[in-house]
Structure 1
Amino acid sequence: MADEKNTLVLTLDSGGDVVIRLRPDLAPQHVERIRELAEEEFYDGVVFHRVIDGFMAQGGDPTGTGMGGSDKPDLPAEFSREPHVRGVCSMARSQSPNSANSQFFICFDDARFLDGQYTVWGEVSEGMEHVDALPKGEPPAKPGRIVKASLRD
């Protein structure tokens, strides 16, 4: 679909825009959910509640606790062979493979032990330095925040 918006831009309070190329070829349902939530301004103001240096930054929970999600139904897993490496965006979930909802994470470094167990839906193409600048912690004392999530062609 040529008219689909396949770029997500997360404007972070840690300094700027993170440009993410969406991957509907890997996870069409998850990409559609990310698009929906961005268009509904769901992610605006949401914090990165779990940021582990050398591993990943996790956000997408409106409660900021890691226990919440959107009011939409959980999604069935769309696991792929895409490797979890620096800049990869993947869905967070509970123990159940089919429990992804709105939470996601961005890998700081290779995390290949996650391959085939979490749904990869995108990859950072610009602005990874702003992800690197997020305050670390579980949760961070002063968590970094998504100021605005927007879509573009």
Structure 2
Amino acid sequence: MGVCDVLDGWDDAGPNSGRVDDVRGFVDELLESWGFDAPNWSDQMPAGYEDAAGVYTRNDDTIHLNPDIFEGDASDALNVAIHEGLHASMDQMGWNDPDLLEELMAAGAGYQALEDLVQGCQNPTESGAPSDMPSYPWVSSEG
């Protein structure tokens, strides 16, 4: 499923129903296109993160998305999900010491990737599929 499909079907999917599956499916495909395993997903926020839009927990390889994000803008929900997906990819690469730099890298790369795909949606021949994504934004924490 391409991001254009998620955006186009956002109003039809209804809050917290098809929207969750669409976002999860897109991010899973995106990560897999970059060579990573799909993480687990939850619509329950862990203790201490109840007000956050999303969080990735390394101990159980799970992206937790606050159900409230699915009642708003599709791009915002996708941005949160891609951001947390990038944290999952970093974890799979062995980045075991999350810090502010990692948070900023995931935020910037996730936002830019989504913007690139959303712009492609304005071209009727583009699907915004993960195969249209740019290369994975980094290879190691050293380089």
Fold shared by both chains (TM-score > 0.5) = no
Instruction: Kindly name which structure, 1 or 2, has the bigger radius of gyration based on alpha carbons.
Output: 2
Instruction: Give the TM-score normalised by the residue count of structure 1.
Output: 0.27
Q: Which has the higher contact order (CA 8 A, sep 6+)?
A: 1
| Structure ranking higher in helix proportion | 2
Q: Which has the higher strand share?
A: 1
